[in-house]
Amino acid sequence: MPSKVTARAHSNIALCKYWGKLELPRLNGEAWLDWRLRKINCPATSSISLCLAALSSETTVTLLPDSAQQDTAMLDGREADGRSQSLLSGYLSLWRAAGLLKGYVHVDSHNNFPTAAGLASSASGYAALAAALSGLAAEPMSSQELSRWARRGSGSAARSIPGGLSALPVGSDAAAQLAAPAEGLPLAMSVCIVDAPPKDVSSRDGMSRSAATSPYYQAWLAQALADYDSMVETLWRSTHEESGDADKLLWELGTVTERNCLAMHAVMQTTVPSLLYWAPGTLAVMHAVRHWRDDGGPPAYFTIDAGPHVELLCLQNDLAEVARLAGELPGVQRVITSLPGGPAQILSSE
Ligand code: PMV
């Protein structure tokens, strides 16, 4: 059995977002542990995302000697801080409780993009970690099972396992499924990094605060479901009936992407205290994109996660022009362009 495994996963950006968790009933003792293992961290809304080839995490997991008393972790070349370390140890304990990991491990993870800046670093990070841990386990794991394990670390990580356009439906013990593979997709993204201080409220804390305090939370759950159904129908039609009509695919997905993003941010902004993730540069990009569409510029559609940066969905043919125009906007520091990324992969095992 291997004692050191390295895996890579790409980050993903949701076109149809998840914000909120399924409620867990209160149980005790063994029943609680079992319930936690099966159902922990289940999103309250179904989501669809695009995996990004240009943003990835590479994670190496090494089994520590029997004498080790705890897990250790390095993130981007630095010892993990107390909060990350305790989240990670809690996650690794789930693998131990399920009998899939024996003993303690050292985790060494690197992102090729800014961490904790609203660029879904927890998605690629937990997906790469789950893939590496699966390489240490005795039995190989299916993509569905691996996606469930990634989800237990971070909801959006479930979608980085299949890659491409992937769908994570609501459900107890949900797993993401491939909706369309990366190869052959005409879509691309420009990630606009805007000037802003580091975010101060994590997605995990933010969404539980929204569920408890936003007057629009229930309306959001209904809207997210309608958006998901609409995107699933679009993807089904584009693969079964209209293959090749890239402009229509972008228009249909893009329109719902913006509507869904604005609905999620309405919930965030009406949370108490308010979660106002946007910075001036965020608004500059949102306005510019609408202007390009109205005035014959390249068609692009915005989406924004729990942070200030803006991701622009466009056709691959327009990617360079969209990135150039976005890079000239006030408050935009730099633009990362990406084609669709593939599934999480084990890179080496020894
Ligand atoms: O995966 P988490 O728990 O960090 O939450 C992700 C939440 C959003 O990025 C805002 C939306 C999404 O679906 O990715």
25 φ, ψ (degrees, to nearest 5): -70, 160
Task: With beta carbons less than 8 A apart as the criterion, state whether 92 and 51 touch.
Answer: no
Pocket of ligand 1 (CB under 6 A): 14, 17-19, 47, 120, 122-123, 154-156, 203-204, 305-306
CA of 92 to the centre of ligand 1 (A): 21
Amino acid found at 287: H
CA of 305 to the centre of ligand 1 (A): 7
Q: Quick one: which atom of ligand 1 is closest to the CA of 202?
A: 4
Say what the pLDDT of residue 113 is. Answer: 81
Q: Quick one: which atom of ligand 1 is closest to the CA of 305?
A: 10
Choosing from 168, 305, 310 the residue with most ligand 1 atoms within 8 A of its CB, the one to mutate for a pocket test is: 305
Say what the pLDDT of residue 166 is. Answer: 97
What pLDDT digit, counting tens, does each position of 47-66 carry?
999 999 999 999 999 999 99
CA of 301 to the centre of ligand 1 (A): 19
Question: Which DSSP string do the residues of 113-164 spell out, in sequence order?
Answer: S-TTSSS-HHHHHHHHHHHHHHHHSSS---HHHHHHHHHHH-GGGGGGTT-S
Choosing from 11, 13, 16, 18 the residue with most ligand 1 atoms within 8 A of its CB, the one to mutate for a pocket test is: 18
CA of 331 to the centre of ligand 1 (A): 24
Q: Quick one: which atom of ligand 1 is closest to the CA of 306?
A: 10
- The tokens of 77 are what? 């070349």
pTM of the shown model? 0.94
Which of 304, 270, 266 shows the shortest CA–CA distance to 285?
A: 304
CA of 31 to the centre of ligand 1 (A): 28
Say what the pLDDT of residue 115 is. Answer: 63
What pLDDT digit, counting tens, does each position of 283-311 carry?
999 999 999 999 999 999 999 999 999 99
Atom 8 of ligand 1, nearest CA residue? 305
Say what the pLDDT of residue 215 is. Answer: 98
Amino acid found at 211: A
Q: Quick one: which atom of ligand 1 is closest to the CA of 168?
A: 13
Say what the pLDDT of residue 37 is. Answer: 58
Say what the pLDDT of residue 241 is. Answer: 78
Say what the pLDDT of residue 30 is. Answer: 56
Pick out the chain residues at pLDDT < 70.
24-39, 114-118, 120, 199, 242-243
